[in-house]
Chains A and B, each alone.
Chain A
C-alpha cells in the first residue's frame, strides 16, 4: 500500500513493533491478555473491548500530593502505583492498562473531587524513552471512577501526539482532536536532513469553564495558549479531577512523570 512507502509510517511501525515486542517479553507469565486488549501492530489490528466488558475500579486509599486518593480505573491486569516528589511538585505514575479509549479505560488515576471551574496543567516526561509509542499521560476530568465514565481529558503520548478527548455518554466510544508536531532539519536524530523528527510538547493543560473544556499547550516554551476549539460536556457536581497514566499494554507496567502540576479551582489559571 502507498502509505507504507512513506518513511515516517515505516519508521513509526518499525518502532511500534520493536517496543511492543519488547514489552510483551516482559509480561508476567501467569497473566493472560485477551486478544481484544492487544494494541495495533503490523501483526494485529487493534479493536474495541467487547461491548459488555467492564472491570470495577480498585481504589487504594492513598492520598498523594494535592490529590485525595488513587484508583486503578478499569483494574488493569497488573496494579499501578504512584509516588510524589514535593521538591519538583512531580508525580511519577506507574501503570499497565490496555488504553484510555473506546468505551472503557484502564489507567492509574490520582484524583480529588471538585465542583465548579478547573485549571489543570503539567509538564510530562517519560522515564523510559523507548517505551511503547502509544502510552499516554493524561489530565482527566471524569464523572466517576467506573471504567466507562463520561470524561474530558488532554493527553500526551509517548510518540508525541497530544489530544483533547471526551466520552460524551457513558459506555460509548471516545472522540478526539489530535495534534502532531515535527521538524525537518531542526531537531537532532533524523536519518537524513529531510527526515521528520517528532517534537514533544513542552507542557499541556486543560481548563474547565462551565461545560466547556479547552486544551492548552506550549510546544516549545512559548506561553501556554488554547489549541483548537473547546468541547462541551456536562458533568454533575462534584466530579473527579486528576492526573493519570496508561502504558497502552494490558499487563505491562510503564511510567510517566508529571511535573510542576498546577491545579486550581477556577478557570483562566492554566499556566
Chain B
C-alpha cells in the first residue's frame, strides 16, 4: 500500500522524447568554442576532445550545505556557481561544460573527501525542462579534481536517461550502463511520439569497491537497478554532486533536492 500512496503523491514528470531541446543553442557572442567541444546535433557529429587537451580545474574554497568546497572541474569557458537553500534543502548549480564523458570532464562540482562506504541520493528538478537535453546532474566519486580523473557516478540527464558510468583509468574512456523509460503517446491527445518518464529520485551506493545504482522511476521505493560495478578505490575519495550543461560556454541551471550523503552503505533513500 505504501508503494501505491507514494506513486499517487509523486508528480509524474513526463516530457516528449523528441523536443526542441535537442537543438543546442549557439555559444554566447564573442566566445570561441572549438569544433571538438560541440555536442551531437543534426549538423554535427560529436567527437572526443583532442588526446592531449586539458584545462586546470578551478576551486572555490568554503563550505556549501553538506560539502566542503566547489570546483569547476576542467575549467569550463564560463565559470560555474552554486547556492544552497536550507529551507527547501535544495542546491542550485549553474554550470557550462562540454560534457562528463570521453577522457576528460567539464562540470561544476560540490564535494567533500570521504573514506569507507557511502550512500548518496538526490532528486533532480529542472527549472527549464526545455533546456538542452543532454545536460546532466551527477552523484560522483573521484580520485582527484583533475579533468581526467578516475571516477564513477550516477547521472540523470535532461532527457530522462539515467546511467551509472565510470572512467576506470585516469585519462581513459568512459563506460556506462544507461536506463530509459517512456510511454507511447495517448490516443486522442496532442502528444507526438514517445513521452519520457523522468525519474523521481536516483542514488548510488559505495560498498567497498562495489558501486550500485539506485532508481525510483515513479515514486516506488528506491531500488538497485542493474548489477553493481567494481571500481577500485585507494583511501579517501572526492564525493559530491555536480552539473554540466553539455554546452561548452553556455551556463544552464539544475536544482538538486533532498541530498543524502552518508558515510555508510545501505542508506540510499
Interface string of A164-190 (1 = CB under 8 A from B): 000000000101111111111110000
Given A220-B227, A226-B223, A228-B217, A184–B181 Cβ distance below 8 Å?
no
A226 in complex: contacting residue of B3, B22, B226, CB < 8 Å = B3
Q: Are A184 and B176 in contact (CB under 8 A)?
A: yes
Q: Are A185 and B175 in contact (CB under 8 A)?
A: yes
A175 in complex: contacting residue of B3, B41, B186, B225, CB < 8 Å = B186
Given A220-B226, A222-B225, A229–B174 Cβ distance below 8 Å?
no
Q: Are B225 and A219 in contact (CB under 8 A)?
A: yes
Given A175-B184, A178-B181, A183–B176 Cβ distance below 8 Å?
yes
Tell whether A117 is near chain B: CB-to-CB under 8 Å.
Answer: no
**Which residues of A from 224 to 241 have beta carbons under 8 Å from B?**
225-230
Bound Cα distance from A80 to B181, whole angstroms: 31
Tell whether B177 is near chain A: CB-to-CB under 8 Å.
Answer: yes
Q: Are A184 and B7 in contact (CB under 8 A)?
A: no
Tell whether B182 is near chain A: CB-to-CB under 8 Å.
Answer: yes
Bound Cα distance from A228 to B224, whole angstroms: 13
Contacts of A175 in B (CB 8 A): 183-184, 186
Bound Cα distance from A90 to B137, whole angstroms: 43
Given A228-B220, A229-B218, A180–B225 Cβ distance below 8 Å?
no
Given A220-B227, A228-B197, A179–B180 Cβ distance below 8 Å?
yes
A177 in complex: contacting residue of B40, B197, B221, CB < 8 Å = B197
Tell whether B68 is near chain A: CB-to-CB under 8 Å.
Answer: no
Bound Cα distance from A257 to B186, whole angstroms: 31
Bound Cα distance from A5 to B42, whole angstroms: 6
Closest to B227 in A: A220
Q: Are A227 and B217 in contact (CB under 8 A)?
A: yes
Tell whether A83 is near chain B: CB-to-CB under 8 Å.
Answer: no
Bound Cα distance from A194 to B183, whole angstroms: 26
Q: Are A183 and B178 in contact (CB under 8 A)?
A: yes
Q: Are A182 and B183 in contact (CB under 8 A)?
A: no
Tell whether B51 is near chain A: CB-to-CB under 8 Å.
Answer: no
Q: Are B226 and A181 in contact (CB under 8 A)?
A: yes
Contacts of A227 in B (CB 8 A): 217, 220, 223
**Which residues of B from 129 to 153 have beta carbons under 8 Å from A?**
none
Q: Are A179 and B224 in contact (CB under 8 A)?
A: no
Q: Are A178 and B184 in contact (CB under 8 A)?
A: yes
Bound Cα distance from A185 to B175, whole angstroms: 5
Tell whether A199 is near chain B: CB-to-CB under 8 Å.
Answer: yes
16 residue pairs of the A-B complex, CB under 8 angstroms, read A2-B42, A3-B18, A173-B187, A175-B184, A177-B183, A183-B178, A184-B175, A185-B174, A196-B178, A199-B177, A222-B227, A225-B223, A227-B223, A228-B181, A228-B220, A229-B10
Question: 6 shortest A-B CB distances, which residue pairs?
Answer: A229-B7, A185-B175, A220-B227, A2-B42, A229-B218, A225-B223
A residues neighboring B (CB under 8 Å): 2-3, 5-6, 173, 175-186, 193-194, 196, 199, 212, 214, 219-223, 225-230
Q: A179-B217, A181-B177 are in contact. List 7 more A-B contacts (CB 8 A).
A: A3-B18, A176-B183, A178-B183, A183-B176, A183-B178, A228-B217, A230-B4
